[in-house]
Amino acid sequence: MKDLTSANRRVVFKTVAVTLMMFGFGFALVPLYSLVCQAFGLNGQTQRITETTLLQMPVDKTRKITVRMDANTNTRLPWQFQANQREVSIHPGEMTRVSYSARNLSGSDVTGQAIYSVTPNEAAMYFKKTDCFCFKRQLLKSGEEKEMPVVFVVDKDLPADITNIVLSYTFMRADKYVSKGETATN
Amino acid sequence: MKLPFERKTHAISAFLLMLVSGSALADYKLNFQEPVNQLGQEIFDLHMLVFWICVGIALVVFSVMFYSMIAHRKSKGAVAADFHENTTVEVIWTIIPFIILISVAIPATSTLIKIEDTGDADITIKVTGLQWKWKYEYDADGTPVSFISSLHPDHNKARAVDSGIDVTKIENYLLEVDNMMVVPVNKKIRLLVTSDDVIHSWWVPQFATKKDAIPGYVNETWTSVDKPGIYRGQCTELCGKDHAFMPIVVKAVEENEYNAWLAAKKTEAVAAAAEAAADKVWSKDELVARGQEIYMGKGGCFGCHGANGEGVATFPKLAGSAITIGPDAAHIDVVVNGKPGTAMAAYGNQLNDLELAAVITYERNAWGNAASVVQPADIKAAR
Amino acid sequence: MTATTHEEHHDEIPTGIKRWLFTTNHKDIGTMYLWFSFIMLLIGGLFALVIRAELFQPGMQVVDPNFFNMMTTLHGLVMVFGAIMPAFVGLANWQIPLMVGAPDMALPRMNNWSFWILPFAGFMLLAPMFVGGNFASGQGPAFGWTFYEPLSGQYDKLVFFVFAVHLLGFSSIMGSINIIATILNMRAPGMTLMKMPMFVWTWLITAFLLIAVMPVLAGVVTMMLTDKYFGTSFFDAAGGGDPVLFQHVFWFFGHPEVYIMILPAFGVVSEIIPTFARKKLFGYASMVYATASIAFLSFIVWAHHMFTVGMPVAGELYFMYATVLIAVPTGVKVFNWISTMYRGSMTYEIPMLWALCFVILFTIGGFSGLMLGVAPADFQYHDTYFVVAHFHYVLVSGSLFGLFAGVYYWLPKWTGNMYSNGLAQLHFWLSTIAMNLTFFPMHFTGLAGMPRRYADYPLQFTEFNVMSSVGAFMFGFSQLIFLWLVIKTIKGGEKATDRVWEGSHGLEWTIPSPAPYHSFTTAPEVK
């Protein structure tokens, strides 16, 4: 009987350990997912690099790709947000600067967060940015208008069959994520 | 709650009729709708290939099973054999399915790669899902042209609980919109699919194109149409109350017709913007009339607040509410900027000043409400 | 403990409400699980009938769309977490100790807990439905049983839902720990793992699946809770989250979950077919390996539920290949069952009818599953009635029929009485016909393009929806025959022998019928 009790205790101990581990694993899936997205460009996640790295990147002058700028504003955010260029035609490896502009249409100060997507998904891992307004939350005072630049490069290793890339930004309201004492971004 | 018994008996007789006349079955759709592009045809063929493989396997497996069930009955004097394993057959029936699967995987792989190849598109259209309508955005030589496409108002009336309208008399019931999406034939059309609130999914069965619309992220897919016509689809991801009532209707036309349509849409958009921006003072009746149209149509307000302003299920009622009969500033604020944390969207981006003024005026003066008139200039000032 | 105290226990069956509240007896707890799940089956079935009443005709006649969504949501949740899962735990409670020759479950007090949590969880899930005093303004969850974010985040009584899921998770995990401990530690001398009955094997694997994935489910609902009330942003893009992440985490739980609901049914059928074919189960070892492979594969195929969310093509290809691979071990199981019948000496008592029906209809569900696994075609099937048809073939004619088979197989052992063959035949045939009438036409409505979770539909889908509705009502009312039959059998009937069935095999048939309150107080010897 004693043996059985301790055997049972061992099983309980091990299974509870597995349970807790799997509960933790559920949460670990969150960073794991971002890592996988970053590494493989899943979900249009792009890579961030420094400007020095960017300038050292070789340029492939033999082909051109079109990057189309797309802007979306979530209806819960009372802003007007648009791309200042429709599209640019660039060489892979070439440093490119484009800009968007946003204006707060409401009577109060509002914070927004831009989320980027690059399509096709396969292109995302070759799409690298040094500067982007999406890295931080943006605060626009009532009626304020702001130009928002993006500096990027498309790696020359981009597969040859990709000739067309869409860079999308969606601005969403992020007031509830601004912590107390957080200074106005940008 | 009440059951419509008259209709029920009608349906039961129809059902019995169907059982007796097997030929009637021919009229009922048993398979995919006819594909209208090459990729759709390829997917259809793949579907049929897998289907026939399944039928083949089923015939073999069930034949053996039924043979055993019939031939080896105890009542026929069958005596149980004593075998209970055989490595050879067990290996064989592991390997054969494996080979069959490979033969399915090969064509499936090539089709899948084609589905995901969005490169070299001729035109790009942005599709945004909203609760519970679609927004289409075109690029007309640099000018964005966008419009909302929602369930046709007649259908909306008919689909209300106990509307008293016989829906079986309505042509294309639930598959008609106020503003159709228009595309040119024989072009590769890239679709950028996104959402404003919850996940929706854009599907036109005959195009074999289905893509989820995810808030914050932009998905990409493509389609093409081989012949002109009107094609109908529906939202395929549960998106709340009116999930079943946000159809997709696409009109495919020749290229020149498409260009003419887009040019007209552009002119229309410019004119509407000018009208809204003009400093005109509108009469109450004009605003109420326009407002009702928006309330029941592109604004989709009735979906939550009800055609009679009484509110649907848990959504707030507008008839006699503090907001609609109170000061106009608060009312304008909630419509223009939305109410964070609820399903109430900010309409400041969706409607222009005139439309906002109209719908707010309508809400303030309908269903027994009698409050102030709001002018486009008031909206402009409040922004 | 001495032998004398054992003998004393024998005669002591507590009476009244206390017997059920405080019981640690595996048979009592098994009985409570089974009754609870049957009540939930009726409640979930009632919800299904509201759905089918609304869909009987195009146009909205019975309920408003929000209520309709609430019905589809609660039907799914109640059937999965309230009916199917607890019913299998009930079978496990009754049968595992009897089949491995143990006096009770390993952790009897915890066993009591894991049951008594359930009614509270059920209450918490259903209570918001009654808020507001009338059904029309009911505020139950209406976001589908898969509760995808961000739609579920719009629900203002989310906290009830989250805690209901937490409680259900606690119950399942405790139940599983108990089952694992019982199987690993309490087997009769001589019963090695590879001599265990298949039902015990499938439950051992299921229990491991449960402790692996129920915590992930608890995690995902916890994230929803903090997103809604504590300002985190796991699933909100505006705060740096991703709604698609929700689906990945959910289906990491959700896919193994569907095997949790079918593996014990495989076990039941693997017990029944040899009994009525009077022949040993063919390929016992390969059956064990196939079950284990299915369980393993279930962890690496989750994203086949999400082909349309926009994954890169490499991901879609991987999930397609891994998914269709499941057909191999599943095929092995079906071939083994058929080989068991081949050259057997077959009779067709009630449990066998259910088991045979299971093999045929589950295989049909498997075929549609294979079709769904082929990604390019899945783009057309996804979220249509074809999917609804598929999972009802595996869950109704799979899991539920497996449960009925098990109950009809062991009921004489539990009650000591044989049931009425006539009623049982009626229940079987009505259920089978109605089930096919309900769900077979859904394949067609789905292929023709009707999306699932639709409160109303275009006219071309009318005929098949009428058929489904007629079938559903027939199916629903047939279950009342079952209720009547079970009550009648408990009250009396022709006395069952100890072996009950001519071809029965295994320890549970060596003890008297009805099984005494305390059984195997001295362990049997297995050779």
Cβ contacts of A121 on chain C, cutoff 8 Å: 310-313
Torsional sign, CA C331, C336, C338, C343: positive
- Per-residue confidence (pLDDT) for residue C1, from 0 to 100: 36
Q: Using CB atoms, which residue from A105, A120, A163 is nearest to B383?
A: A105
Given a cut of 90, is residue B274 above it in pLDDT? Answer: no
Q: Supply the pLDDT for residue C166.
A: 95
Is C283 close to B18, i.e. CB distance below 8 A? no
- Side chain identity, residue B114: K
- Same domain as A77, residue A17: no
Comparison of pLDDT for B240 and C483, the residue scoring more: C483
CA-wise closest residue to C220 among B355, B161, A82, A24: A24
Pick the range with the lowest mean pLDDT from A147-156, B154-163, B270-279: B270-279
Look at A168 and B119 and tell me if their CB atoms are within 8 Å. no
Band of residue B354 on the pLDDT scale cut at 50, 70, 90: confident
Q: Which of C31, C33, C54, C104 is catalytic?
A: C104
A51 and A32 assigned to the same domain: no
Catalytic residue among C145, C148, C318, C517: C145
In a domain, C208, yes or no: yes
B102 touches chain C (CB under 8 A): no
Contacts of residue B73 in chain C, CB cutoff 8 Å? 345-347
All residues of chain B having their beta carbon less than 8 Å from the beta carbon of residue C303 are none
Grade residue B244 by pLDDT with cuts at 50, 70 and 90: very high
- Please indicate if any CB of chain A lies within 8 Å of the CB of B276: no
Residue of chain B with shortest Cα separation from A175 = B340
Tell me, yes or no, whether A122 lies in a domain. yes
Listed as ranges, residues in chain C with pLDDT below 50 are 1-9
Active site residue C518: no
Q: How does strand A145-154 pair with strand A96-104?
A: antiparallel
pLDDT of residue A46: 65
Q: B249 has which bridge partners?
A: B232
For residue range A133-174, list pLDDT tens digits in order: 888 888 888 888 899 988 888 888 888 888 888 888 999 988
Q: Examine the domain organization and report whether A94 and A115 are in the same domain.
A: yes
- Per the domain annotation, does A170 fall within a domain? yes
Element (H, E) at A118: strand A110-119
Q: Quick check: is C155 in a domain?
A: yes
pTM of the predicted model, to two decimals? 0.90
Say yes or no: A118 and A58 in one domain: yes
C270 is catalytic: yes
B119 and A176 within 8 Å at the Cβ level: the answer is: no
Specify the higher pLDDT residue, B309 or C248: C248
Would you place residue B12 in the very low, low, confident or very high pLDDT band (cuts 50, 70, 90)?
low
The Cα–Cα gap between C125 and C165 comes to 8
Catalytic (active site) residue C452: yes
How far, CA to CA in Å, does B199 sit from each of B147, B238, B311? 20, 8, 24
Tokens representing B147 are 């419009």
What is the C-alpha to C-alpha distance for residues B248 and B201, in angstroms, rounded to an integer?
Answer: 10
For residue A117, give the nearest of B120, B217, B347 by CB distance. B217
Peptide bond before residue C376 is cis, with ω within 30 degrees of 0? no
Chain B residues whose CB is inside 8 A of the C58 CB are 167-168, 173-174
Residues 6+ apart with CB under 8 A from B103: B53
What is the structure's pLDDT at B22? 44
Nearest CA in chain B to C342: B68
DSSP 8-state symbol, C147: T
Q: Tell me: do A56 and A2 sit in the same domain.
A: no
In a domain, C147, yes or no: yes
Chains in contact with A, counting 3 or more C-beta pairs less than 8 Å apart as contact: B, C
* B306: helix, strand or coil: coil
In a domain, A60, yes or no: yes
Any CB–CB contact under 8 A between B280 and chain C? no
Same domain, A88 and A140: yes
Q: Tell me if A170 and C214 make a contact (CB, 8 A cut-off).
A: no
Asked whether residue B6 carries a pLDDT value surpassing 60, the answer given is no
Mark yes or no for CB contact A20/C176 under 8 Å.
Answer: no
DSSP secondary-structure letter at B254?
-
Q: Would you call C148 and B238 a contact, using CB atoms and an 8 Å cutoff?
A: yes
- B336 vs A contacts (CB less than 8 Å): 78, 106
> What is the nearest CA distance from C127 to chain A, expressed in angstroms?
27
Q: Per the domain annotation, does A61 fall within a domain?
A: yes
Interface test with B, best of C60, C286, C465, C470 (most B CBs within 10 A): C60
| Token pair of C151 as six digits | 């739609």
C88 in any annotated domain? yes
User: Is C495 an active-site residue?
Assistant: no
Q: Is the pLDDT of residue B3 over 80?
A: no
Rounded-to-integer distance, Cα C319 and Cα C247, Å: 15
Active site residue C502: no
What was the pLDDT predicted at C423?
A: 95
Domain that holds residue C382: 26-510
Whether A104 and A30 share a structural domain = no
Write b or e for each residue in B251-262: b if 16 or more Cβ atoms lie within 10 A of its Cβ, otherwise e. Answer: bbbeeeebeebb
- C interface test, pick of A2, A9, A11 with most C CB neighbours within 10 Å: A11
Q: Is C75 a catalytic residue?
A: yes
Contact call for B216 and A170, based on CB within 8 A = yes
Whole-angstrom Cα distance, residue B378 to residue B356? 10
> By CB neighbour count within 10 A (0-12 exposed, 13-18 middle, 19+ buried), where does C495 fall?
exposed
Whether A81 and A27 share a structural domain: no
CATH number at C128 reads 1.20.210.10
Place of tokens 């009396």: C492
For residue A17, give its domain range.
1-40
Burial class (CB in 10 A: 0-12, 13-18, 19+), A136: exposed
Touching B: which chains, 3+ CB pairs < 8 A?
A, C
Mean pLDDT of the region A10-23:
93
Show Cβ contacts of residue C125 under 8 Å, excluding neighbours closer than 6 positions: C74, C77, C78, C81, C82, C141, C160, C161, C164
Contact C238 A20 (CB under 8 A): no
pLDDT at A42 (0 to 100): 63
Task: Write down the pLDDT at residue C136.
Answer: 58
pLDDT value at B8 more than 50: no
Kindly state whether residues A49 and A108 are assigned to the same domain: yes
pLDDT at A186: 44
Mean model confidence pLDDT for chain A: 83
> Mutation test of the interface with chain C: which of B25, B102, B195, B314, choosing the one with the most C Cβ atoms within 10 A?
B314
| pLDDT of amino acid A40 | 67
Residues A111 and A48 in one domain: yes
User: Among C279, C382, C413, C452, which one carries the catalytic annotation?
Assistant: C452
How many pairs of residues across B and C have Cβ atoms under 8 Å apart? 323
pLDDT, position C356: 96
- The Cα B250–Cα B257 span in angstroms is 14
| Residue A97, in any domain of the structure | yes
Angle at C284 between CA C282 and CA C289, to 5 degrees: 130
In chain C, how many domains are there?
Answer: 1
Active-site residue flag, C145: yes
Residues A70 and A153 in one domain: yes
Of B14-28, B311-325, C194-208, give the lowest mean pLDDT range.
Answer: B14-28
CATH of the domain at A141: 2.60.370.10
Number of domains chain A contains = 2
A76–B340 CB contact, under 8 Å: yes
DSSP character string of A63-106: --EEEEEEEEE-TTS-EEEEES-SEEEE-TT--EEEEEEEEE-S
DSSP state of C84: I
Determine whether the interchain pair C238/A177 forms a contact, defined as Cβ–Cβ distance below 8 Å: yes
Q: Is the pLDDT of residue B135 over 70?
A: yes
pLDDT the model gives residue A180: 58
Question: Nearest-CA residue of chain A relative to B130?
Answer: A75
Q: Are A55 and A27 in the same domain?
A: no
Under DSSP, the state recorded for B160 is: S
Nearest chain C residue (CA) to A27: C219
* CA trace torsion C197, C199, C200, C201 (10° rounding): 90
Is residue A184 domain-resident? no
Quickly list DSSP for B316-339: PP-TT-HHHHS-HHHHHHHHHH--
For strands B123-130 and A127-132, give the pairing. unpaired
DSSP lists the bridge partners of residue A111 as A139
Give percent above pLDDT 70 in chain A: 90
A27 contact residues in C (CB cutoff 8 A): 219, 223
Is residue A41's pLDDT more than 70? no
Asked if the structure places residue A25 within a domain, the reply is: yes
- pLDDT (tens digit per residue) in C429-481: 999 999 999 999 999 999 999 999 999 999 999 999 999 999 999 999 999 99
- Report if residue C15 sits inside a domain: no
B347 and A CB contact within 8 Å: yes
Is the Cβ of C59 closer than 8 Å to some Cβ of chain A?
Answer: no
- Residue B47 CB coordination number (10 Å): 21
Nearest chain B residue (CA) to A160? B119
